[in-house]
Chain A
């Protein structure tokens, strides 16, 4: 089993696995392994095996390294300008969490390339942030290619 050591940068990959109830979510959490920093293409070997965690509406922000009233919440909600988001960003973020979403959580930096549409994601740089990566085109393409290769496999 792949397990992180104390030397690694504390960055986690969190996938929303299942909404069990209005107030309860199941998430899959993997920790960044030592020696990995470039997370631009969602490298699978950079992560520990996933563990399952149950989170509820009252304590879920801890899993994302956030605290109540954190200004980052306003950025995370899909509709930051909406009235509901302004009134209740924690609640809006909670309700927007759906199975299949993937977040990187921790000290990461996002750098946009000048000549291409690709972006670079690097651990160990920048401040604590929460970055949703499953909508990034290069990563979506990689996931689709993995499925396609598996489906086309023949013994």
Chain B
């Protein structure tokens, strides 16, 4: 049975752009009645623009609320300048991690932001933004990490903006206030992540260690009743965009167990590398790394990869490439479909799931 996608749904399009990220987010209708979009990273500006043109023919939108550069590595920002320069995709805000890079691409982005008078915001953990029933929360980078950028003790991946997107059944703030009231049933906890999508950017160990500290799994027990008011696991989610294309440092198993995603999406193009330890050369795939593949299998998630590598390795079938679209109705469970485009093709955005 198929269902027509509604303007009240949260729709996340993870485009197949090879090694890199380009994510389009259709935001639910806001209180002003606007249907806005957000863009999280863009490794291919032309594909994003052409896909948006097709989307307008399926579900029109009123403008771009934000473009988020999770961090300035080339495979995440290469297409952003094109979007900033176009009137069709000029955003109301540009979200930046605060970690400065020196590629011409990133410096051009800064120059364009200034020339076009676009509002730039430095995002760190705890930031919230609301679009109708959708609440966006920045899980990373933590302020603790951001304050260490200047020392170069933090690498760019761990400066990534990690976003939690929750499409609530009704007003997000009201939902928060009543969700856990007088309820400590574990089933409530499990369901809390039904409408949540986490976009992991390229966060690695340093970042996740801060995230788990700042967003703890607080359990309510009779012993702790006077002290703990809520039972909440804000990392619980239905869909996870796996961080750093599935690299060996992207997937701490205990964090994935906290998230317990039903679906895990890999945006990647496999590459192989060799490393020599004590005279022995180890050659292995990097994106995803075998460690990540095992972690995802342990977590029990259903996995889709844009380059089809994961499905071919685990399922033994052909490498079927394609963008992945996630549809989350307000307060509901997500539907996930994989399109069948290669990196050069522009697929048709789905009208129904």
Taking Cβ atoms with an 8 Å cutoff, the residues of A that contact B are: 13, 15, 17-18, 20-24, 26, 28, 30, 44, 47, 49-50, 52, 54, 56, 99-100, 102, 134, 143-144, 146-147, 149-151, 153-155
Contact = CB atoms under 8 A, between A and B. Distances in A.
Contacts of A100: 101-102, 152, 156
Interface stretch (B4-12, B163-171, B182-190, B269-277): B269-277
B286 A153 contact: no
A21 B111 contact: no
Contacts of B274: 23, 56
Contact of B271 (A30, A54, A144, A147): A54
A75 B326 CA distance: 52
Interface of B: 73-75, 78, 92, 96, 100-105, 107-111, 113-114, 116-120, 122, 152, 155-157, 247, 271, 273-276, 286
11 contacts: A15-B101, A15-B104, A22-B275, A24-B273, A28-B104, A50-B74, A50-B78, A99-B156, A143-B107, A151-B120, A155-B118
A44 B107 CA distance: 8
B114 A23 contact: no
Contacts of B271: 20, 24, 54
A153 B114 contact: yes
Contact of B114 (A13, A102, A144, A150): A150
* Majority secondary structure of chain B interface residues (helix, strand, loop or mixed): mixed
B203 to A, nearest CB: 14
A143 B105 contact: no
B186 to A, nearest CB: 40
Contact of A52 (B74, B109, B156): B74
A50 B275 contact: no
Contacts of B105: 28, 49-50
A134 B111 CA distance: 18
A44 B111 contact: yes
A63 to B, nearest CB: 15
A47 B104 contact: yes
A134 B286 contact: no
